[in-house]
Structure 1
Amino acid sequence: MFRRRTPQAPAPAPVVTDGRTPRRLWSDGFGTLATRAVQIIAVVILAAGLVYASQTLSVVVIPVLLALIFACAFEPLMGWLRPRLGPSFSTAIVLLAIVLIIGGLGWAMVSAVRSQWSELYAQAQEGFLQVVAWVNTLPFAPDQAQIDEWIASVTDFFTSAQFGSGAVAGVGAVANFVTGFVLMVVVLFFFLKDGPQIWSFLTRPFEGEWYARVQRAGAKSVDTFGAYVRGTAAVAAVDAIGIGIGLFVLGVPLAFPLTILVFLLAFIPIVGATVAGILASLVALVANGPIVAIIVIAIVVVVNQLEGNLLQPILMGRALKLHSLVVLIALAIGTVLGGILGAILAAPFAAVVWGIVQVWDGPATPARWARRKDRTVGARA
């Protein structure tokens, strides 16, 4: 009838603390800083891993990226041809046109250099002798023994095993280029033909708000890549035509390959035009003398000013205009990570990243940290 009462354990004595619970330890200013530092370290480790994997698999990564950029650039044309000719036939036409353009430019450049190489070599040798003769007239000029020693050093380098290993490495680089080019063509075929289906498959894991965000980011990336490549190609064509006409009129040797080189280097913003102008002026200096070289420099400067102040804002639009400091930093990072191809890809990828930030929270709503602040609110308060 009466249950035996079980003696209860005494209540634990209250723990006296100074109020610094684990939650509060990570909620004050220093805890917030430590949390952000841990997050930054994790992001840096992840980025370093991705960069290392990309460099290790560069033979695969670079062709895939180039195929992606070409697919974005030709997406409007594919969107017009696909309903009319079907995905397979329209892909074959666009892919054949891309391969013919790239292969034709390379073949024309190599054949032009080969046809005029002997003439340019003789002129370069004569110019070198003139420079040596001018140096000998200077008060601090080296004597003939030192010049002979320098020439012997250069000759020894070209006949050494080190130069031979470099030549073997060059053969390996050519093999990697051919492999990458074939892989790019194959991947580009599938991107052009089945791009919408591939994108639909990649977005399956996302739902709700994140699905809408990924869709906005993908559409913005395609538009930005396409507009950047098409605008840059148009600007590069204008640069090449303007500088090329000047080189042909002045009678500079290798005018045609230099024109193609100007077109290719124009895809590297800021520094590409400068490098192209230096090469063209050096060839003119060796072959035609200092007066023609100065005229070539003047033509390059005028054409670059024209495209920088007029053509780029019209053809590429304000949405793709990045600050020069951002472009320079992107170029430096891309060059360190990927060489010349990294320098070419740095600017469009920077533009894509900024474009994604601009649509992160809505079609016309940037991410919270990238929104313009209303400075008048604080002033009125």
Structure 2
Amino acid sequence: MELGIDRRSTGPRTVRSAWSDGFGLLATRSLQIIVVVILAGGIIWGMRALTTVVIPILLALIFASTFAPVTGWLRRRNVPSALSAVIVLLGIVVLLSAIGWLIVWAVRDQWDDLSSQAEDGFAQVVEWSRTLPFMPDDSQLHEWGDQALDFITSAQFGSGALAGVGALTSFITGFVLMVVVLFFFLKDGPAIWRFLLRPFQGEGLRRAERAGAKTVSTLGSYVRGTAGVAAVDAIGIGIGLVILQVPLALPLAVLVFVLAFIPIVGATVAGILAALVALVSNGLVNALIVVGVVILVNQLEGNFLQPVLMGRALKLHSLVILLALTVGTVLSGILGAVLAVPLAAVAWGIVKVWDGADTPAKWARPHRTADF
């Protein structure tokens, strides 16, 4: 007699887990995403709370990466590390002081004329736009105009970060900290990096070494290339403004150089400002020629200068740049907009060497398409 034995069972019994089906996989991935978002939010919150420390360290890292070839050249000629760090640091201070003095000298005395001519030029554009069909009403145009002019021509555009005693104190503290950290990065950068690599072993160590080397090379190439592109843009547009006899050509050229460090947005703002000044001073035809000069220089920059000076590997998609600019501006204002793009370039550079010198992370590899 058979006592309740089920002979239909032919193998081990499979128990399905609630996490093994499609819905369980979705729940697992959702939890992982939530944890990553919380961790990223905590990191961003911590960085914003410690802005006085984080921003100087980032700037020091960027400057150290930018002048790494000079430091290496001095060390290869048996210059002591401390002396080479002092030489490079003094060179950076002199260079930044010269650029700052040029900006202040060129813009300070003529800023009122520049802003008033920009306002008059925008008023003329508004008057001309009224003759076009399907245009917004006057109140909407004036509202847009006031917002644009508040951003472009107000004193806060250049000096709002220094308003108030507290902000000035934070600026001085951050500047001193940046100089000190930059000195040690220039003097003991390789030793500091080897110390930070001690917890890593095996493949993790090799991956961290690739990420560090890529960070230094990307930041250095980006800043040096951007400075070269900004200088060429300023010289090219400045020569065009001088030939066209547009007033305030030197301040406009200096603004082109400064704003070129904010990709896409900076060149657009500088071109609009130059065109508005030309419209007031020399008329519509001259302003259109200025717009043509700005477009020509920007095309030369995008198609020739950036690939040559910065390398195609550092070129980010325009959508990525706009998103990085937006996030950086929301988090840290103008300084965040300047730092967002090089940091995004570093992140993408690390992804491209994640699994090897020329092997991106698995999820970032392009799919192979079949040949038909």
* TM-score relative to the length of structure 1: 0.79
Q: Provide the identity percentage.
A: 63
Which protein shows a greater Rg? Answer: 1
Moved more, 288-297 or 68-77: 288-297
2:3: which partner in 1? none
Measured after TM superposition, the shift of residue 343 of structure 1 is 1.5
2:221: which partner in 1? 227
C-alpha contact (below 8 Å) 2:106/2:254 kept by paired residues: no
Paired residues for 1:1-381 under 5 Å: 20=15, 24-84=17-77, 85-117=79-111, 127=120, 169-376=163-370
Measured after TM superposition, the shift of residue 339 of structure 1 is 1.5
Judged with a 3 Å threshold, the aligned counterparts in structure 2 of structure 1 residues 296 and 170 are, in CA distance, closer, same or farther, namely farther
Structure 1 Cα separation of the partners of residues 115 and 202 of structure 2 = 65
Measured after TM superposition, the shift of residue 374 of structure 1 is 2.6
The total of aligned residue pairs comes to 335
Structure 1 Cα separation of the partners of residues 262 and 15 of structure 2 = 55
Measured after TM superposition, the shift of residue 262 of structure 1 is 1.0
Structure 1 Cα separation of the partners of residues 166 and 247 of structure 2 = 31
Measured after TM superposition, the shift of residue 121 of structure 1 is 7.5
Q: Which amino acid aligns with 2:309?
A: L
Q: Which amino acid aligns with 1:358?
A: K
Measured after TM superposition, the shift of residue 215 of structure 1 is 0.4
Measured after TM superposition, the shift of residue 190 of structure 1 is 1.1
Judged with a 3 Å threshold, the aligned counterparts in structure 2 of structure 1 residues 194 and 26 are, in CA distance, closer, same or farther, namely same
SS in structure 1 at match of 2:370? helix
Structure 1 Cα separation of the partners of residues 42 and 138 of structure 2 = 52
SS in structure 2 at match of 1:347? helix
1:3: which partner in 2? none
Judged with a 3 Å threshold, the aligned counterparts in structure 2 of structure 1 residues 368 and 116 are, in CA distance, closer, same or farther, namely closer
2:10: which partner in 1? none
Structure 2 stretches of 5 or more lacking a match?
Answer: 1-12, 132-136, 140-145, 147-153, 155-159
Structure 2 Cα separation of the partners of residues 48 and 194 of structure 1 = 32
Measured after TM superposition, the shift of residue 179 of structure 1 is 2.8
Structure 2 Cα separation of the partners of residues 99 and 92 of structure 1 = 10
Structure 1 stretches of 5 or more lacking a match?
Answer: 1-17, 143-149, 151-157, 159-165
C-alpha contact (below 8 Å) 1:116/1:253 kept by paired residues: no
SS in structure 2 at match of 1:181? helix
C-alpha contact (below 8 Å) 2:161/2:167 kept by paired residues: no
Q: Which amino acid aligns with 2:24?
A: G
C-alpha contact (below 8 Å) 1:105/1:260 kept by paired residues: no
Structure 1 Cα separation of the partners of residues 115 and 332 of structure 2 = 32
C-alpha contact (below 8 Å) 1:240/1:260 kept by paired residues: yes
Q: Which amino acid aligns with 1:68?
A: L
Deviations 1:51-85 (A, max 9, x none): 11111221221111111111111111111112322
Deviations 1:151-210 (A, max 9, x none): xxxxxxx9xxxxxxx999445434433332222222111111111011011111111110
Q: Which amino acid aligns with 1:80?
A: W
SS in structure 1 at match of 2:93? helix
SS in structure 2 at match of 1:374? coil
1:162: which partner in 2? none
Judged with a 3 Å threshold, the aligned counterparts in structure 2 of structure 1 residues 29 and 288 are, in CA distance, closer, same or farther, namely same
Measured after TM superposition, the shift of residue 124 of structure 1 is 7.4
Judged with a 3 Å threshold, the aligned counterparts in structure 2 of structure 1 residues 303 and 206 are, in CA distance, closer, same or farther, namely same
SS in structure 1 at match of 2:198? coil
Structure 1 Cα separation of the partners of residues 252 and 93 of structure 2 = 21
Judged with a 3 Å threshold, the aligned counterparts in structure 2 of structure 1 residues 119 and 29 are, in CA distance, closer, same or farther, namely closer
Structure 2 Cα separation of the partners of residues 113 and 267 of structure 1 = 18
Structure 1 Cα separation of the partners of residues 170 and 277 of structure 2 = 30
SS in structure 2 at match of 1:376? coil
SS in structure 2 at match of 1:375? coil
* TM-score relative to the length of structure 2: 0.80
Structure 2 Cα separation of the partners of residues 371 and 236 of structure 1 = 33
Measured after TM superposition, the shift of residue 252 of structure 1 is 3.3
Moved more, 256-265 or 208-217: 256-265
Judged with a 3 Å threshold, the aligned counterparts in structure 2 of structure 1 residues 111 and 304 are, in CA distance, closer, same or farther, namely same
Deviations 1:225-273 (A, max 9, x none): 1111111111111101101112233343432232222112112212211
Structure 2 Cα separation of the partners of residues 92 and 75 of structure 1 = 13
